[in-house]
Amino acid sequence: SNLSPDFAVGGPALVLSPKSGSVARAAFAPGTEQQDTPRRRLVIGRTPGDASVDGGSKAPCNSALAPSPSQPPGAVASDGAGVGLVYDERMTKHYNLMDDGHPERPARIVRIFESLEEAGLADRCVRIPCRAATREELLLKHTEKHVDTMLNIETLTEEEATELGGRYKSVYLCPGSTQAGLLAAGSVIEGVAAVCRGDVGRGICVVRPPGHHAECECAMGFCMFGNVSLAVAEAQRTGLSKRTLIVDWDVHHGNGTQNMFDDDSAVLFFSVHRYDTGRFFPGGELGHFESHGKGEGAGYSVNVPWDVRGGFKKGHPAPGDAEYLEAFEKLLLPIAADFQPDLVVVSAGFDAAAGDPLGECEVTPAGYHALTRMLLSLAGG
């Protein structure tokens, strides 16, 4: 593997719910008394889905905003069976006014959903209602100034929105960004809650803009709000989860997610990403393996960085299935077994996939399937 000798995870989501009748022994902190908590299961990611998806009734998606004409109001099946699916085409209203070919463009989620339909998987999923995140929810992990700035975008002209986006690191904005950002965050929150309540067995949230680069105080790296972070924070606030594992397998380090939970021992953050001695986006030392949390959260952030460029210079191939599976088997699973999460959320960017021109890694669809199956061994599956 091409681990750096110095070495140190946008997007949509998958969700899993309490296993009927199962109770997990969850340790709430090293050295403290364990307590009984309902065991829940959740995987979150932007992916065409898993071939082992369970059956379930289909219901149209609706939202806290005005329903989209092609997404009339519908209901969520409440028998706890099947895989929940979150998607709303109004998230395509966020786009780059200056560059139609930008890599984070509306076609990303459109094509994913089309693939789900073509494979017959969408019809086998339970549609979870989409909704906008509330201000209260956004403030769980973002500052008032940042929330107000993002909410105000819809009142700007295209020129003003473009200028505002230019103030951030790798961010574009347009008047439709406010609605899309609120739907992305709120829909992941709702997807996680549906899983934790037992409305569905698992779930996938096909949403954009992505979220793992967004910081408490600013947008960053194509991300407006910390979608997964907000969903986990709300699950904690409402008592749906007490020990959450966030797995980030995006090729970029999830800087925003780690910062939002860096001092929180109730959240275990695991990121495997391209690092290149801190030169690969988002850069810096946060994704270094010595960056492991602080205060009460010390030891609850785990970073596995790849020195891809350094490996290339030495004639080594890019990390692929074998390296990722090794990282999960030898690092993540043993640590997670001690942590005993009651909820698992995956920030599932797929830019470590073979053929991605920026990530340059070699993970195959079969590799992602194997990683997902490994995660199903946690929190009741």
Beta strands in the chain (DSSP E): 13-15, 23-26, 35-38, 83-86, 126-127, 202-205, 244-248, 267-274, 301-306, 343-347
Reading the block at residue 149, the tokens are 């700035």
Are 102 and 172 contacting, i.e. CB atoms less than 8 angstroms apart? Answer: yes
Q: Which of 94, 212, 213, 252 is catalytic?
A: 213
- Determine the length of the chain: 381
144-151 vs 177-197: helix axis angle to the nearest 10?
Answer: 120
The secondary structure of 160-224, three-state, reads HHHHHHCCCECCCCCCCHHHHHHHHHHHHHHHHHHHHHCCCCEEEECCCCCCCCCCCCCCECCEC
213 is catalytic: yes
As a whole number of angstroms, the distance between CA 165 and CA 171 comes to 5
Are 95 and 156 contacting, i.e. CB atoms less than 8 angstroms apart? Answer: no
Closest CA to 61 of 86, 92, 94: 86
Three-state DSSP class for 255?
helix
As a whole number of angstroms, the distance between CA 373 and CA 244 comes to 18
Q: In what order do the strands lie in the sheet with 83-86?
A: 13-15, 202-205, 83-86, 126-127
Catalytic residue numbers read 213
